[in-house]
């Protein structure tokens, strides 16, 4: 799921998001009810559409023509929508380009792809020229990460990184495509790109060039999916309408004969092409046929290969929602009782925290702004920003809010977030700056962190700029 946010023009706008995030979101939802579709069956809490994603460990620079063919197929449909588009291109870790779409510019980008200059490419709605609300509720998006290792700073890569293609179209525009064609394209990409894992469902967009996508399951239910980026050929990234598995998945589930006989799916099929096998598990006959019990059965069947679920994260991710299941995630009745209990605890903690904040303000609380300092021997990289932030006594729920804010900031403007981590009271963030000036990026990040610390009365001790060597 790829969220977007435009930078605040001044500190007041940013402060509103940092200090009172939930109230702001609620106000926006209230005003935009006519544009944001919320499903009454509680399956979704974001605007939804049809998406497939194929993950691979192959360097896709050898598959440029396959990528171009996929994009051109997609363009044939989205050009009928009259939705304005932007082209995103990332050039071998050096720069990021965001261009208004024209046929001429797209032909130029295709030429640069063929020349091996572009490592990641995407097409999505141009919010500046559309009437969409611009909150990450995308109507259209397609992206391809051809060689993500060339985009991420080398010091962050300690294992193999997945490349992938993702295709998303809002449900209102699916009429310009064929759902059967979507399925066939996903199937074709699994073989052409030597895919190790694929999924397709009716869900929110998770497409994003220049970084690894997150499925709804990874986003809301998994403690740290990034630790498993090198294991997509062994682990499932959730449970979906279509689950495209490969040999290691099948072996872990008990072998093909067992899967064929016991998978709780409408269609269970072994597909073969040129010596490669893809195992196709289709949950229901119709992608729009939502069956909660069916998803529960599939989730239980896939448990041996599912990334480990964190109920606490699921509870806190949806603490302010009155409905479950969200984002196609399902839980047993027993799990739901535990989630409800943790949600209530979280809300109570938040209430106490707000009361404490009001008390300290009444007693004359004064915040002292923290400045960035440079690590010893620091040598700036104009294309990449590495920052370490040190707090004192940072609580998990405080971190959850800050984490979301940093991710929104990291994918704003020309930036592209490549990594974010936490170890106790220490937080690290790495961002590809694209064409953004490093001083401007540091200024906006300093404003964000200080406003967060001030607004939430979190003790901020140090902020350090470094080059990845500490």
What are the boundaries of each domain within the chain? 11-31+370-466, 49-317
> CA 53, CA 217: separation in Å to the nearest integer?
14
Answer whether residue 17 shows pLDDT above 60: no
What is the model's pLDDT at position 209? 53
135-144, 151-160, 164-173, 270-279, range with the lowest pLDDT? 151-160
Please report which residue ranges of 237-380 form alpha helices under DSSP H.
Answer: 247-253, 256-262, 292-301, 311-317, 333-362
Position 415 scores a pLDDT of 77
Structure confidence at residue 36 as a pLDDT band (50, 70, 90)? very low
Tell me: pLDDT of 466 over 50: yes
**Mean pLDDT score of the chain:** 80
Mean pLDDT for 382-404 is 85
Residue 210: the pLDDT is: 53
Number of neighbouring beta carbons within 10 Å of residue 245: 25
pLDDT of residue 11 exceeding 60, the answer is: no
pLDDT band at 414 (very low <50, low <70, confident <90, very high): low
- Are 18 and 451 contacting, i.e. CB atoms less than 8 angstroms apart? yes
pLDDT value at position 18? 39
Say which DSSP state 375 is in. P
Residue 241: name the closest of 265, 262, 218 by CA: 265
What's the pLDDT score for residue 250?
A: 98
Segment 29-43 mean pLDDT: 32
- Residue 345 class from Cβ within 10 Å (0-12 exposed, 13-18 middle, 19+ buried)? middle
Residue 31 predicted with pLDDT over 50: no
pTM over 0.95: no
pLDDT at 323: 52
> With 70 as the cut, is the pLDDT of residue 154 above it?
no
Instruction: Give the H/E segment covering residue 460.
Output: strand 460-466
Buried b (16+ CB within 10 A) or exposed e, 62-94: ebbebbbebbeebbebbeebebebbbbbbbebe
Share of the chain above pLDDT 70, in %: 79
Give the model's confidence band at 318: pLDDT under 50 very low, under 70 low, under 90 confident, else very high: confident
As a whole number of angstroms, the distance between CA 57 and CA 230 comes to 8
CA distances in angstroms from 213 to 94, 165, 195, 219, 321, listed in the order given:
21, 10, 15, 9, 24
> Which helix (H) or strand (E) element contains residue 163?
strand 163-170
By CB atoms closer than 10 A (0-12, 13-18, 19+), residue 215 is buried
- 313: preceding bond cis by omega (within 30 degrees): no
Q: What is the CATH number of domain 11-31+370-466?
A: 3.30.70.260
What pLDDT shows up at residue 427? 92
> Higher pLDDT residue, 97 or 85?
85
pLDDT at residue 44, as a whole number: 36
**Strands, DSSP E only, in 197-337?**
197-203, 242-245, 267-273, 276-282
pLDDT of residue 158: 56
| pLDDT confidence bin for 136, thresholds 50/70/90 | very low
Q: 137: helix, coil or strand?
A: coil
User: Would the pLDDT of 413 be above 70?
Assistant: no
The mean pLDDT value for 385-400 works out to 87
Give the start-end residues of each E strand in 392-440: 416-423, 426-432
Backbone φ and ψ for 106, nearest 5 degrees, come out as: -65, -40
For the residues 439-467, what does the mean pLDDT come to? 89
Supply 411's token pair: 């994918």
């Amino acid at each position: 799921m790829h969220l977007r946010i435009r930078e605040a023009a001044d500190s007041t706008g940013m402060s509103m998001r940092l200090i009172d995030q939930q109230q702001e979101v609620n106000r926006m939802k209230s005003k935009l009810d006519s544009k944001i579709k919320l499903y009454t069956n509680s399956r979704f809490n974001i605007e939804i559409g049809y998406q497939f994603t194929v993950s691979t460990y192959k360097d896709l620079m050898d598959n440029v023509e396959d990528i171009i063919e996929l994009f051109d197929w997609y363009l044939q449909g989205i050009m009928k929508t009259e939705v304005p588009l932007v082209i995103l291109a990332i050039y071998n870790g050096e720069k990021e380009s965001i261009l208004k779409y024209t046929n001429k510019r797209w032909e130029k980008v295709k030429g640069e792809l063929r020349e091996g200059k572009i490592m990641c490419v995407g097409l999505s709605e141009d919010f500046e020229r559309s009437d969409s609300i611009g909150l990450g509720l995308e109507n259209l998006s397609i992206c391809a990460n051809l060689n993500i290792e060339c985009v991420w700073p080398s010091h962050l890569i300690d294992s193999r990184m997945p490349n992938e293609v993702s295709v998303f179209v809002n449900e209102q525009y699916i009429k310009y495509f064929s759902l059967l064609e979507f399925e066939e394209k996903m199937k074709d990409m699994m073989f052409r790109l030597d895919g190790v894992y694929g999924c397709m469902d009716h869900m929110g967009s998770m497409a994003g060039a220049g970084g690894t996508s997150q499925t709804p399951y990874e986003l809301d239910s998994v403690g740290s999916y990034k630790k498993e980026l090198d294991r997509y050929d062994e682990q499932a990234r959730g449970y979906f309408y279509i689950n495209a598995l490969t040999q290691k998945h099948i072996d872990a589930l008990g072998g093909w004969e067992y899967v064929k006989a016991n998978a709780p799916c409408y269609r269970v099929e072994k597909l073969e092409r040129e010596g490669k096998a893809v195992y196709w598990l289709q949950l229901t006959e119709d992608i729009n046929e939502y069956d909660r019990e069916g998803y529960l059965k599939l989730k239980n069947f896939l448990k041996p290969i599912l990334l480990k679920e964190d109920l606490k994260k699921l509870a806190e991710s949806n603490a302010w929602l009155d409905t479950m299941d969200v984002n196609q995630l399902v839980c047993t009745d027993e799990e739901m009782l535990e989630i409800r209990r943790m949600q209530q605890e979280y809300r109570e903690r938040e209430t106490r925290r707000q009361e404490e904040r009001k008390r300290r303000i009444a007693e004359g609380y004064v915040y002292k702004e923290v400045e960035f300092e440079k690590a010893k021997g620091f040598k700036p990289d104009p294309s990449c920003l590495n920052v370490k932030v040190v707090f004192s006594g940072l609580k998990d729920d405080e971190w959850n809010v800050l984490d979301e804010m940093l991710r929104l900031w990291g994918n704003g403007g020309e930036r592209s977030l490549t990594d974010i981590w936490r170890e106790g009271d220490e937080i690290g963030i790495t961002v590809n700056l694209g064409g953004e000036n490093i001083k401007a990026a540091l200024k906006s990040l300093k404003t964000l962190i200080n406003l967060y610390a001030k607004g939430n009365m979190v003790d901020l001790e140090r902020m350090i700029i470094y080059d990845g060597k500490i």
